[in-house]
Amino acid sequence: MSKKNDPTKRPNGGVTRRGFLGSVGAGAVVAATGVARPGEAVPEITSPEEMVQVALMINGRIHRLLVEPRWTLLFVLRERLAITGTKAGCERGECGSCTVLVNGQPRYACMSLAVEAVGTEITTVEGLLDGEELGTVQKAFVEEDAFQCGYCTPGQIMAAEGLLRINPSPSFDEIRCGMSGNLCRCGAYPHIVNAVTTAAENKKGGQ
């Protein structure tokens, strides 16, 4: 195409809107792809589909496997390791059914990448069992009938376990605040609060 008919140039030598957007777009591509200036090292970019090896400490056992960097901890737990006590709910950090403990802190597995969890200690609801014996919080949820359909229960239990590890004697308001990130569509909230209270008492009693 001749310069005379170039749609990106104005007859007076200025740049048209199309030409401006094209130059801005090209600059954005350079910035996004990490193209280095002459003499600078080019940063290494990992493809989302490229498999990387990780070692995850889950419930006291090390699992070595290949994962894609974009895989969530929830996906790896359920689909790659068959640790299915952790439930997939909204998968966008709103319902809490996928709650696990990472270094003792409650965390949404759907919002955590598996590669981020390397070097941490992950506990799922299965990790609260003592052989075939239910853990203290699990027992309290059964005793207080703190569930109906049960789908959200693993996440509720892990949130409660995390709360009691941080605060062994929570008040009513502290329990409500600590459990507020976990939704129960059946509306079993009064029983859930009772279960956390019972679990706190039983933990202090050595049960």
Position 38 in a domain: no
Whole-prediction pTM? 0.77
Domain count of the fold of the chain: 2
| Phi, psi (rounded to 5 degrees) for 13 | 95, -5
* Structural domain boundaries enclosing 153: 129-207
pLDDT tens series, the chain, 207 aa: 555 555 545 555 555 555 544 544 444 444 444 444 566 665 566 676 789 999 999 999 999 999 999 999 999 999 999 999 999 999 999 999 999 999 999 999 999 999 999 999 999 999 999 999 999 999 999 999 999 999 999 999 999 999 999 999 999 999 999 999 999 999 999 999 999 999 999 999 876
User: Sheet of 52-58: strands edge to edge?
Assistant: 61-67, 52-58, 121-123, 99-102, 105-108
User: End of a domain among 128, 143, 159?
Assistant: 128
Same domain? For 183 and 196 the reply is: yes
